[in-house]
Structure 1
Amino acid sequence: MSLHGIHTIDTAFQRDHFDAAYLIVEDGRGAFVDCGTNHSVPHLLAAVQQAGITPADIDLLIVTHVHLDHAGGAGLLMQQLPNATLVAHPRAAPHLIDPEKLIAGATAVYGEEEMQRSYGTLLPVPEARVRVVEDGETVMLAGRALECIDTPGHARHHHCIWDARSRSWFTGDTFGLSYRELDGPQGAFILPTTTPVQFEPQALKASIARMVERAPEAMYLTHYGPVSDVPRLAQSLYEQIDAMVAIADACDGRADRHRCIAAALSALYLERAHAQQVPLADEDVLRLLAMDIELNAQGLGVWLDRGRP
């Protein structure tokens, strides 16, 4: 079931209901927003068929940013979409046309074996099929306007997409992470993501504020799915960004800095989970957020090492 022609696709990356891509269908034409990894491509093509269109009917693949859980499958997917244009942020496009730096960076972090297991071999996208969009530029899907705005804070090559038809944003990672398993009686639970290497707290808060200004009805998160009650969630993100900065500062200079940050993040998320009556035991909350706690701690460490920009 889709609302406003928007289909949520589970890319099956890491676990169920962790990583989403979106298919927007308008008047028989389609656009993907984000695409997961190479291993996600069969799931995306199945969604196209289920929506009653064909790969030839896909006009756009819009990637919010080039982190591999969002755009790692772009090259392979584009090979299956004969009429599609890849839409990317100016800082993201070069890495999609020539992914060598992405491959080298990810391989250095994960190792060759894990790189293949999680992501597969990244394929380049021909430059002629890539459209670079500047801040505020609009692309059209069968007359449906999709506006791309520059949203730094999580990454400097990140943009979010405003869909006026549904009055909603496709937010990539700029509006944080919200897993459905943590939904409680007060609604969605959300947390910011400071994944290495370009966390910038003031820029992130400004990007969130810029999106909230439009009074959106929903935010379509890559991790995971659409959320509403946007003002409350935005306020939660602002508070947590400030708290995470304070944690990083408090742990800076310690020999066990990373462990200090990770422990304090765990305590922060549990405190907020309790306040929001998240329906999971503490150990299950920490298990669900384990990877995010580790990556957020790494990201805060990189931020400290870069001089707190």
Structure 2
Amino acid sequence: MSVTATRPRLTRFPHGITAIDTDYHRPRFDASHLIVDQGRAAYVDTGTSHSVPSLLAALDEFRLDREAVDYVLLTHVHLDHAGGAGELMRHLPNAVCVVHPRGARHMVDPGKLIAGTKAVYGEAMFNQLYGEIPPIPAERVRESQDGMTLTLGERHLTLLHTPGHAKHHYCIFDDRPHAVFTGDTFGVSYRELDTDQGEFILPTTTPVHFDPEAMHASIDRIMGLEPNACFLTHYSRVTDLDRHAETLHAEIDAFVAIAREHQQSDNRVDEIEAALIDHQAERLARHGISEPEQKAGDILGMDLKLDAQGLDVWLTQQEKAASR
């Protein structure tokens, strides 16, 4: 894949942290975060292979050579987070890709990821969304260990396994800003939904590993670090974390209740999706968003469709467990 020069959309934060818009689906939907310290760099999540020109252009903005990147840190291997890792690693001669043990094999041999995603989207849509996904040589992949610490310049990045959204998920505690890069564990929050009441947040229960008890525990683990901010892949920095954690706990329970309410329906995925949209529209109205029903569909609709599918998988797993 050739890399075409591009001007990336960047949001710069203190302590050497920059959000790079990966151009996945729409602006400010999916972020890769670049961390720079003492001339050394790391990416947290990559977007897709189509995102790689923007990620490399961000290095140029900081006058960093590609040899300066030490790590590509993948919070988990869902393709909006890790689809670009193989292509990106081709351009970073010194980087190591750090991935959860459950996901590492999919970076070395992405065939199952590709086949599974094509089965959902079809080949044409897959190519449009994700492009080529080359494998990463096994010797350049390092499996995360819960609690392991990496050094980047003069800062320390501690990796914490945080299941709930996915079994192959970890978060990264950065000791310099005292902040956590949370992938999808601390939910999603889109900047279009910020109001004078602050940021709007909701959990993500997308297929196929949603586990409400594990998600509750992972949120508590993040908050136990007493971070100043969380950097979400969707989309970047949020603060007011006590409020957000309380909201996420309540919303996980609400999502589960909605799923159970429609458990016996013959068309439960669609009914769960419709109920989630209505629920979020009510929340958006209370949050001061105009036209909340439209915004729930336009901004959150794709997420809520996937959330409904994830809740359906979770219900099926609960039913199988109950029948044993």
Tell me which moved more, 153-162 or 143-152.
143-152
1:251 to 245, 253, 262: 262
The offset of 1:281, in angstroms, is: 4.0
2:233 to 222, 225, 245: 222
Structure 2 partner of 1:118: 129
Tell me which moved more, 233-242 or 1-10.
1-10
Describe the SS at the equivalent of 1:92: helix
Gap runs ≥5 in structure 1: none
Structure 2 partner of 1:139: 150
TM-score (norm 1): 0.98
Structure 2 partner of 1:70: 81
The offset of 1:280, in angstroms, is: 4.8
Distance of 2:222 and 2:35 partners within structure 1: 20
The 1:164–1:284 alpha-carbon spacing in structure 2 relative to 1, beyond 3 Å, is: same
User: Moved runs in structure 1, 4+ residues, more than 2 A?
Assistant: 278-282
The offset of 1:147, in angstroms, is: 0.4
Q: What letter corresponds to residue 225 of structure 1 in structure 2?
A: S
Whether the 8 Å CA contact 1:184–1:279 is kept in 2: the answer is no
Q: Say if 2:158 is the partner of 1:174.
A: no
Q: Identity over aligned residues, as a percent?
A: 50
Q: Say if 2:285 is the partner of 1:274.
A: yes
Describe the SS at the equivalent of 1:223: coil
The offset of 1:143, in angstroms, is: 3.0
Distance of 2:302 and 2:288 partners within structure 1: 22
Structure 1 partner of 2:9: none
Deviations 1:246-294 (A, max 9, x none): 0100100111211210111011101111222135542133211110110
The offset of 1:103, in angstroms, is: 0.7
Whether the 8 Å CA contact 2:29–2:235 is kept in 1: the answer is yes
The offset of 1:185, in angstroms, is: 1.2
Q: What letter corresponds to residue 138 of structure 1 in structure 2?
A: T
Describe the SS at the equivalent of 1:80: coil
**What CA RMSD, in Å, does the superposition of the two structures yield over aligned residues?**
1.1
Gap runs ≥5 in structure 2: 1-11
Describe the SS at the equivalent of 1:199: coil
Distance of 2:291 and 2:179 partners within structure 1: 29
Q: What letter corresponds to residue 106 of structure 1 in structure 2?
A: T
Distance of 1:286 and 1:119 partners within structure 2: 23
Q: What letter corresponds to residue 135 of structure 1 in structure 2?
A: D
Distance of 2:250 and 2:289 partners within structure 1: 18
TM-score (norm 2): 0.93
